[in-house]
A and B are shown apart, each in its own frame.
Chain A
């Protein structure tokens, strides 16, 4: 029976190949598009976890987002005192592991005759490194003593180090930042950029040093808080709210003049976005698979009409209904199996290339699923033409011209 089916397909090679191509494209696009969706979700997850999953960022401004006029002027900026309150109120804030106030500014760095403007200059406490998941690859972190002593030391991001030193070892060298000389004590490990801003294009220095040289001793831009663990971020968040409402003398929590964002919430938001993205891609691919299936029905109907006379002969020779049915079903299933097999190969081969900057990650279930659905489509869409062939009356089939 398989031999007859192969023969039947071989009789119309171009037609069979085109029909198979329909299924091939369907299966390959299901696998590939789901892989792209999955790949982007994996990439987002990686970039977010690289920021540190148990870190919380407190920034000033109304959480309601609608502070206007007089209310806006009443917003109290975050200060180093707020950070100290969070850090020292250990009893109230059991879920908080460490606190780092952050000021961010920009300026030009000079080394010898090389001048370069890093993406940002960050003034903070040593706790920042752990909280922001910034590791020193070479050299050392600056210490609490450096902060207390307002020492002019700096840790460079990988990109900044490369721009300023071009292969030279930066540790121990002196650079000039905004007119103030700094000694480089360490270089951060490269994190790799995923967006428009390069997280490695940074200079990190002790908070008072940066305040002294650039921003003045006013409010800080952010307070980075590290929760005791990834699970306790929610608890840490409510503790931060309580402490800061106290220091800012606000009684109504809905009128809080600060905002807390956690990487976990960012992660959830991004994950649901990429999930929608993946589902959309999958739906488009599924439609093309369906179209491929309709292609099979179409071609099998043509084949049945073309071979009506042959069906008549077979019936006259005593072919039972089941044999005719089986023959055409085998043919359509063979089309879909071959098409799906090639589609799987094409999909997996295609997933080795990165598409619009996303490295596709093949979901094994999608391969099995797409293959299975394609074969089922062959059976389902082939059954109508096959049934039509099997129920032809022999006399009508033999008379067919």
Chain B
């Protein structure tokens, strides 16, 4: 601790010296042990289950076989594909919608900046499930969106349906994770020193060039954080696919949830979760590398 503690009683100082370097570990211990016991150990346990065989009724044996992996990859390739596709499209859409919004709030927000940010996080003040249910109301066959289009304006056929289509699932994912994209983008853009952009203009850069070569590269950390905060939860989501989609639009989350809670097939659920986790980890690392080198060369 600080050397300026000359006024403290000698007894206390001696006690502190005896504790010595142990203090940080004492502070860390309870929380870190909690994380080890309930985050790290479960992942290890999950791996052991993924290489086991058996049923809940007869017990599971650790066989170190890869049956669960080959089974899950061959049987659920389609759902993995849906996760990747819907999650990828939703992430791209949130970036396309979120960037202009974050840019406007950061550079042109003026005195409305705080109000606008407040409105961006307003969805967080209500439940994730209720927001998704609201989308189900909105996109319903006779709902506030399709109803007037069908019966008042008559510009679409009366049997048009959005619910249970991939479009509805992607719309829900995009909606639910949009604030996660806007906030880190805003933080990155807000930090940019305006004099750098001015310098670009002084050096005869056009507005577009200044944006592309100064603003955008400086905003990349925000793009990175935002895409991860959107992509990771949308890959693992099953609520949107369940409430807004149909069995045909099932994502890998729906399969894992079903295998775990309904079938009690823990080896398959574990193998699928493990593949999802590794897949996301590899994607994130590759993406970090890609953006990192872009930043250096661009």
User: Is A bound to B?
Assistant: no
Q: Which residues of B contact A (CB under 8 A)?
A: none
